[in-house]
Structure 1
Protein backbone atom coordinates (compact mmCIF):
# COMPACT_ATOMS: atom_id res chain seq x y z
CA UNK A 1 0.00 0.00 0.00
CA UNK A 2 1.38 3.41 -0.89
CA UNK A 3 1.82 6.33 1.51
CA UNK A 4 -1.22 8.19 0.15
CA UNK A 5 -3.52 5.24 0.85
CA UNK A 6 -2.04 4.73 4.32
CA UNK A 7 -2.48 8.42 5.09
CA UNK A 8 -6.08 8.27 3.80
CA UNK A 9 -6.87 5.25 6.01
CA UNK A 10 -5.28 6.92 9.02
CA UNK A 11 -7.30 10.10 8.46
CA UNK A 12 -10.53 8.14 7.99
CA UNK A 13 -9.89 6.21 11.21
CA UNK A 14 -9.06 9.42 13.07
CA UNK A 15 -12.22 11.17 11.84
CA UNK A 16 -14.41 8.17 12.71
CA UNK A 17 -12.81 8.02 16.15
CA UNK A 18 -13.46 11.71 16.73
CA UNK A 19 -17.11 11.41 15.67
CA UNK A 20 -17.70 8.49 18.04
CA UNK A 21 -15.58 9.90 20.87
CA UNK A 22 -18.37 11.91 22.56
CA UNK A 23 -20.57 8.80 22.91
CA UNK A 24 -17.69 6.54 23.91
CA UNK A 25 -16.38 9.12 26.36
CA UNK A 26 -19.82 9.76 27.87
CA UNK A 27 -20.55 6.04 28.15
CA UNK A 28 -17.26 5.38 29.98
CA UNK A 29 -17.75 8.20 32.49
CA UNK A 30 -21.35 7.43 33.43
CA UNK A 31 -22.30 5.66 36.64
CA UNK A 32 -23.08 1.96 36.09
CA UNK A 33 -26.77 2.42 37.00
CA UNK A 34 -27.44 4.63 33.95
CA UNK A 35 -25.44 2.69 31.37
CA UNK A 36 -27.34 0.98 28.56
CA UNK A 37 -27.17 -2.83 28.67
CA UNK A 38 -24.89 -4.62 26.19
CA UNK A 39 -26.43 -5.46 22.84
CA UNK A 40 -27.53 -1.92 21.95
CA UNK A 41 -26.16 0.74 19.60
CA UNK A 42 -26.59 4.51 19.37
CA UNK A 43 -29.15 5.48 16.73
CA UNK A 44 -29.51 9.20 17.41
CA UNK A 45 -27.75 11.84 19.51
CA UNK A 46 -29.52 15.09 20.32
CA UNK A 47 -28.98 18.20 22.39
CA UNK A 48 -32.10 19.27 24.26
CA UNK A 49 -32.42 22.94 25.17
CA UNK A 50 -35.47 24.15 26.97
CA UNK A 51 -37.17 24.65 30.28
CA UNK A 52 -38.67 22.74 33.16
CA UNK A 53 -41.68 23.96 35.10
CA UNK A 54 -41.91 23.45 38.86
CA UNK A 55 -44.87 24.20 41.14
CA UNK A 56 -44.87 24.86 44.88
CA UNK A 57 -47.05 22.15 46.47
CA UNK A 58 -47.63 20.34 49.75
CA UNK A 59 -45.15 17.52 50.39
CA UNK A 60 -46.87 14.18 49.92
CA UNK A 61 -45.38 12.60 53.03
CA UNK A 62 -44.98 15.56 55.40
CA UNK A 63 -48.07 17.43 56.57
CA UNK A 64 -47.67 21.20 56.65
CA UNK A 65 -44.48 21.21 54.56
CA UNK A 66 -44.09 22.35 50.97
CA UNK A 67 -41.65 21.66 48.16
CA UNK A 68 -41.02 22.41 44.51
CA UNK A 69 -42.75 19.71 42.45
CA UNK A 70 -41.63 18.78 38.92
CA UNK A 71 -44.50 19.64 36.55
CA UNK A 72 -42.91 18.98 33.17
CA UNK A 73 -40.29 19.71 30.53
CA UNK A 74 -40.44 21.47 27.19
CA UNK A 75 -37.36 21.39 24.97
CA UNK A 76 -36.17 21.51 21.38
CA UNK A 77 -34.02 18.57 20.30
CA UNK A 78 -31.24 19.40 17.84
CA UNK A 79 -28.57 17.31 16.16
CA UNK A 80 -24.87 18.05 16.74
CA UNK A 81 -24.89 20.66 13.96
CA UNK A 82 -27.73 22.60 15.64
CA UNK A 83 -30.54 21.55 13.26
CA UNK A 84 -33.84 20.83 15.03
CA UNK A 85 -34.70 17.14 14.81
CA UNK A 86 -37.52 16.93 17.36
CA UNK A 87 -39.06 18.01 20.65
CA UNK A 88 -39.24 16.73 24.20
CA UNK A 89 -42.27 17.39 26.40
CA UNK A 90 -44.42 15.87 29.11
CA UNK A 91 -45.91 14.45 31.13
CA UNK A 92 -45.59 11.73 30.22
CA UNK A 93 -42.01 12.18 29.08
CA UNK A 94 -42.26 12.13 25.28
CA UNK A 95 -39.56 12.47 22.64
CA UNK A 96 -40.99 13.28 19.22
CA UNK A 97 -39.00 13.42 15.98
CA UNK A 98 -39.73 15.91 13.21
CA UNK A 99 -41.11 12.99 11.14
CA UNK A 100 -43.90 12.52 13.72
CA UNK A 101 -42.60 9.29 15.28
CA UNK A 102 -42.40 9.41 19.07
CA UNK A 103 -41.57 7.40 22.15
CA UNK A 104 -42.46 7.55 25.80
CA UNK A 105 -40.65 5.60 28.45
CA UNK A 106 -40.24 4.39 31.99
CA UNK A 107 -37.38 5.63 34.13
CA UNK A 108 -35.01 2.78 34.96
CA UNK A 109 -32.38 4.69 36.94
CA UNK A 110 -30.99 8.08 37.88
CA UNK A 111 -27.58 8.99 39.24
CA UNK A 112 -26.21 12.28 40.55
CA UNK A 113 -24.42 14.51 38.08
CA UNK A 114 -22.67 17.72 39.12
CA UNK A 115 -24.07 20.26 41.60
CA UNK A 116 -26.83 22.48 40.25
CA UNK A 117 -27.68 20.09 37.41
CA UNK A 118 -30.36 17.47 36.86
CA UNK A 119 -29.28 13.88 37.50
CA UNK A 120 -28.18 11.48 34.78
CA UNK A 121 -31.09 9.32 33.68
CA UNK A 122 -31.72 6.02 31.90
CA UNK A 123 -35.18 5.43 30.41
CA UNK A 124 -36.55 2.18 28.93
CA UNK A 125 -38.50 3.22 25.84
CA UNK A 126 -41.99 1.98 25.06
CA UNK A 127 -42.58 0.88 21.46
CA UNK A 128 -42.54 3.89 19.13
CA UNK A 129 -45.70 5.44 17.78
CA UNK A 130 -45.43 6.01 14.05
CA UNK A 131 -42.53 5.00 11.86
CA UNK A 132 -39.42 7.07 11.53
CA UNK A 133 -36.46 8.21 13.64
CA UNK A 134 -37.91 6.84 16.90
CA UNK A 135 -38.71 3.39 15.49
CA UNK A 136 -36.76 0.68 17.27
CA UNK A 137 -35.56 2.93 20.13
CA UNK A 138 -35.14 0.80 23.25
CA UNK A 139 -33.33 3.14 25.68
CA UNK A 140 -32.79 6.86 26.13
CA UNK A 141 -29.96 8.34 28.21
CA UNK A 142 -29.89 11.88 29.58
CA UNK A 143 -26.29 13.07 29.94
CA UNK A 144 -24.15 16.26 29.67
CA UNK A 145 -26.48 18.20 31.95
CA UNK A 146 -26.66 21.94 32.58
CA UNK A 147 -29.22 23.35 35.01
CA UNK A 148 -32.81 22.24 35.37
CA UNK A 149 -32.94 21.75 39.13
CA UNK A 150 -35.79 23.05 41.29
CA UNK A 151 -35.73 26.82 41.87
CA UNK A 152 -33.77 28.31 44.74
CA UNK A 153 -36.72 30.64 45.43
CA UNK A 154 -38.66 29.93 48.63
CA UNK A 155 -41.57 27.49 48.50
CA UNK A 156 -43.71 28.11 51.57
CA UNK A 157 -47.39 27.52 52.34
CA UNK A 158 -47.98 31.13 51.17
CA UNK A 159 -46.38 30.20 47.81
CA UNK A 160 -48.54 27.11 47.11
CA UNK A 161 -49.63 27.05 43.49
CA UNK A 162 -46.81 29.37 42.38
CA UNK A 163 -44.96 28.13 39.29
CA UNK A 164 -41.34 28.73 38.38
CA UNK A 165 -39.65 27.92 35.08
CA UNK A 166 -35.94 27.04 34.94
CA UNK A 167 -33.71 26.63 31.89
CA UNK A 168 -31.79 23.47 31.20
CA UNK A 169 -29.76 21.64 28.60
CA UNK A 170 -29.08 17.92 28.26
CA UNK A 171 -27.88 15.47 25.66
CA UNK A 172 -30.42 12.74 24.90
CA UNK A 173 -28.84 9.64 23.41
CA UNK A 174 -31.22 7.16 21.76
CA UNK A 175 -30.31 3.47 21.61
CA UNK A 176 -31.71 0.47 19.71
CA UNK A 177 -30.98 -3.26 19.83
CA UNK A 178 -28.10 -4.35 17.59
Structure 2
Protein backbone atom coordinates (compact mmCIF):
# COMPACT_ATOMS: atom_id res chain seq x y z
CA UNK A 1 0.00 0.00 0.00
CA UNK A 2 1.21 3.51 -0.74
CA UNK A 3 2.62 4.99 2.49
CA UNK A 4 0.90 8.32 1.81
CA UNK A 5 -2.53 6.70 1.45
CA UNK A 6 -2.33 4.60 4.66
CA UNK A 7 -2.65 7.57 7.10
CA UNK A 8 -5.59 8.97 5.11
CA UNK A 9 -7.33 5.58 5.07
CA UNK A 10 -6.77 5.15 8.82
CA UNK A 11 -8.22 8.61 9.48
CA UNK A 12 -11.27 7.88 7.34
CA UNK A 13 -11.81 4.53 9.07
CA UNK A 14 -11.59 6.16 12.52
CA UNK A 15 -14.05 8.89 11.53
CA UNK A 16 -16.47 6.30 10.13
CA UNK A 17 -16.33 4.20 13.32
CA UNK A 18 -16.84 7.27 15.53
CA UNK A 19 -19.84 8.37 13.44
CA UNK A 20 -21.35 4.88 13.66
CA UNK A 21 -20.98 4.83 17.45
CA UNK A 22 -22.50 8.30 17.73
CA UNK A 23 -25.63 7.21 15.87
CA UNK A 24 -26.27 4.18 18.10
CA UNK A 25 -29.20 4.57 20.50
CA UNK A 26 -28.12 5.00 24.12
CA UNK A 27 -28.31 1.83 26.21
CA UNK A 28 -31.28 1.71 28.59
CA UNK A 29 -30.12 1.63 32.21
CA UNK A 30 -30.94 -1.56 34.07
CA UNK A 31 -34.15 -1.28 36.10
CA UNK A 32 -33.41 -0.57 39.74
CA UNK A 33 -35.79 -1.21 42.60
CA UNK A 34 -33.49 0.46 45.14
CA UNK A 35 -35.80 3.46 45.60
CA UNK A 36 -38.90 1.31 46.22
CA UNK A 37 -40.29 0.53 49.68
CA UNK A 38 -38.78 -2.71 51.02
CA UNK A 39 -42.21 -4.41 51.15
CA UNK A 40 -42.53 -4.39 47.34
CA UNK A 41 -38.93 -5.21 46.45
CA UNK A 42 -38.38 -8.54 44.71
CA UNK A 43 -36.26 -10.99 46.72
CA UNK A 44 -32.66 -11.63 45.68
CA UNK A 45 -32.18 -14.36 43.09
CA UNK A 46 -34.52 -12.85 40.48
CA UNK A 47 -33.82 -10.63 37.50
CA UNK A 48 -35.91 -8.37 35.31
CA UNK A 49 -37.29 -10.27 32.32
CA UNK A 50 -39.61 -7.60 30.90
CA UNK A 51 -40.62 -4.00 31.63
CA UNK A 52 -44.07 -2.78 30.60
CA UNK A 53 -46.39 0.14 31.15
CA UNK A 54 -50.04 -0.67 31.75
CA UNK A 55 -52.44 1.96 30.43
CA UNK A 56 -56.14 1.45 31.02
CA UNK A 57 -59.04 1.56 33.41
CA UNK A 58 -60.12 0.18 36.77
CA UNK A 59 -63.81 -0.44 37.46
CA UNK A 60 -65.39 0.06 40.90
CA UNK A 61 -68.97 -0.70 41.98
CA UNK A 62 -71.01 0.83 44.79
CA UNK A 63 -71.99 -2.02 47.14
CA UNK A 64 -73.30 -2.61 50.63
CA UNK A 65 -70.51 -3.12 53.16
CA UNK A 66 -70.18 -6.74 54.14
CA UNK A 67 -71.68 -7.55 57.55
CA UNK A 68 -72.76 -3.92 58.04
CA UNK A 69 -76.34 -2.70 57.74
CA UNK A 70 -76.94 0.67 56.07
CA UNK A 71 -73.31 1.33 55.07
CA UNK A 72 -71.93 1.35 51.53
CA UNK A 73 -68.54 1.44 49.87
CA UNK A 74 -66.85 1.40 46.48
CA UNK A 75 -65.62 -2.13 45.75
CA UNK A 76 -62.86 -2.99 43.29
CA UNK A 77 -64.34 -4.87 40.29
CA UNK A 78 -61.29 -5.25 38.05
CA UNK A 79 -58.70 -3.78 35.69
CA UNK A 80 -58.58 -3.60 31.90
CA UNK A 81 -55.27 -2.32 30.49
CA UNK A 82 -52.89 -2.60 27.56
CA UNK A 83 -49.32 -3.59 28.42
CA UNK A 84 -46.86 -1.61 26.31
CA UNK A 85 -43.11 -2.05 26.08
CA UNK A 86 -40.83 0.94 26.71
CA UNK A 87 -41.13 2.03 23.05
CA UNK A 88 -44.95 2.15 23.34
CA UNK A 89 -45.69 -1.02 21.35
CA UNK A 90 -48.43 -3.21 22.83
CA UNK A 91 -46.96 -6.49 24.08
CA UNK A 92 -49.87 -7.77 26.14
CA UNK A 93 -52.86 -6.99 28.31
CA UNK A 94 -53.86 -7.02 31.96
CA UNK A 95 -57.41 -7.82 33.06
CA UNK A 96 -59.42 -9.51 35.76
CA UNK A 97 -60.72 -10.92 37.93
CA UNK A 98 -58.71 -12.88 38.57
CA UNK A 99 -55.80 -10.52 37.89
CA UNK A 100 -54.29 -11.89 34.68
CA UNK A 101 -51.28 -10.72 32.68
CA UNK A 102 -51.37 -12.00 29.09
CA UNK A 103 -48.65 -11.67 26.45
CA UNK A 104 -49.48 -11.14 22.77
CA UNK A 105 -47.95 -14.62 22.22
CA UNK A 106 -50.88 -16.12 24.17
CA UNK A 107 -49.02 -17.06 27.34
CA UNK A 108 -50.61 -15.75 30.52
CA UNK A 109 -50.45 -15.99 34.27
CA UNK A 110 -52.29 -15.06 37.42
CA UNK A 111 -50.58 -14.11 40.66
CA UNK A 112 -51.03 -13.85 44.41
CA UNK A 113 -50.50 -10.56 46.22
CA UNK A 114 -47.49 -10.48 48.52
CA UNK A 115 -47.38 -6.82 49.60
CA UNK A 116 -48.49 -3.26 48.86
CA UNK A 117 -46.97 0.15 49.64
CA UNK A 118 -48.33 3.68 49.19
CA UNK A 119 -48.17 4.94 45.60
CA UNK A 120 -48.66 8.59 46.48
CA UNK A 121 -51.70 10.83 46.83
CA UNK A 122 -54.37 10.01 44.23
CA UNK A 123 -52.58 6.87 42.99
CA UNK A 124 -53.24 3.18 43.53
CA UNK A 125 -50.59 1.52 45.71
CA UNK A 126 -47.38 -0.09 44.54
CA UNK A 127 -47.77 -3.86 44.62
CA UNK A 128 -45.69 -7.03 44.62
CA UNK A 129 -47.31 -10.27 43.46
CA UNK A 130 -45.93 -13.81 43.19
CA UNK A 131 -46.65 -15.42 39.84
CA UNK A 132 -48.54 -18.68 39.57
CA UNK A 133 -47.40 -21.15 36.88
CA UNK A 134 -47.99 -19.68 33.41
CA UNK A 135 -50.48 -21.09 30.94
CA UNK A 136 -49.30 -21.46 27.34
CA UNK A 137 -45.75 -21.14 26.02
CA UNK A 138 -44.15 -17.74 25.67
CA UNK A 139 -43.01 -14.62 27.51
CA UNK A 140 -44.94 -15.37 30.72
CA UNK A 141 -43.29 -18.77 31.25
CA UNK A 142 -41.03 -18.68 34.28
CA UNK A 143 -42.26 -15.32 35.62
CA UNK A 144 -41.83 -15.49 39.39
CA UNK A 145 -42.78 -11.98 40.51
CA UNK A 146 -44.47 -8.88 39.11
CA UNK A 147 -44.06 -5.40 40.59
CA UNK A 148 -46.59 -2.62 40.01
CA UNK A 149 -44.76 0.69 40.39
CA UNK A 150 -44.87 4.27 39.06
CA UNK A 151 -48.64 4.31 39.57
CA UNK A 152 -50.78 7.18 38.31
CA UNK A 153 -54.48 7.47 39.17
CA UNK A 154 -56.77 4.46 39.52
CA UNK A 155 -58.13 5.25 42.98
CA UNK A 156 -61.78 4.64 43.81
CA UNK A 157 -64.26 7.38 42.87
CA UNK A 158 -64.63 10.46 45.06
CA UNK A 159 -68.40 10.35 44.50
CA UNK A 160 -70.12 9.07 47.67
CA UNK A 161 -71.37 5.49 47.56
CA UNK A 162 -74.90 5.51 49.03
CA UNK A 163 -78.10 3.48 48.98
CA UNK A 164 -79.25 5.72 46.11
CA UNK A 165 -76.44 4.58 43.80
CA UNK A 166 -75.91 0.99 44.95
CA UNK A 167 -74.98 -1.21 42.00
CA UNK A 168 -73.64 1.73 39.95
CA UNK A 169 -70.23 1.16 38.37
CA UNK A 170 -67.58 3.85 37.93
CA UNK A 171 -64.58 3.52 35.64
CA UNK A 172 -61.36 5.43 36.40
CA UNK A 173 -58.23 5.79 34.27
CA UNK A 174 -54.86 4.64 35.51
CA UNK A 175 -51.31 3.91 34.45
CA UNK A 176 -48.61 1.81 36.12
CA UNK A 177 -45.35 0.12 35.27
CA UNK A 178 -45.45 -3.67 35.55
CA UNK A 179 -41.97 -5.18 35.95
CA UNK A 180 -41.77 -8.94 35.36
CA UNK A 181 -39.05 -11.02 37.05
CA UNK A 182 -37.71 -14.54 36.53
CA UNK A 183 -35.43 -16.60 38.77
CA UNK A 184 -31.73 -16.43 37.90
Give yes or no for TM over 0.5: yes
Structural mapping, 1:73-92, within 5 Å: 73-92=79-98
Aligned to 2:52: 46
CA distance in 2, matches of 1:20, 1:45: 12
- TM-score, normalization: structure 1? 0.88
Q: Which residue of 2 aligns with 1:97?
A: 103
The alignment status of 1:66 with 2:66, answered yes or no, reads no
> RMSD value over aligned CA atoms?
1.8
Structure with higher helix content:
1
Q: Secondary structure at the match of 2:134?
A: coil
Pair member with larger Rg: 2
Distance, in Å, in 1 between the alignment partners of 2:120 and 2:181 is 24
Answering whether residue 172 of structure 2 is matched by residue 163 of structure 1, we say no
Where 1:20 maps in the other structure, the secondary structure is coil
SS at match of 2:181: strand
Paired position in structure 2 for 1:146: 152
Q: 2:67 and 2:125 mapped to 1: Cα distance?
A: 22
Alignment of 1:21-60 (within 5 A): 21=30, 23-24=31-32, 27-60=33-66
Cα offsets for 1:44-91 (capped at 9, x unmatched): 000000000000001114321100000000000000000000000000
Moved over 6 A (4+): none
Residue correspondences, number = 165
TM-score of the aligned structures, taking structure 2 as reference length: 0.85
Are 1:20 and 2:44 matched, yes or no?
Answer: no
Structure 1 stretch displaced more, 31-40 or 56-65: 56-65
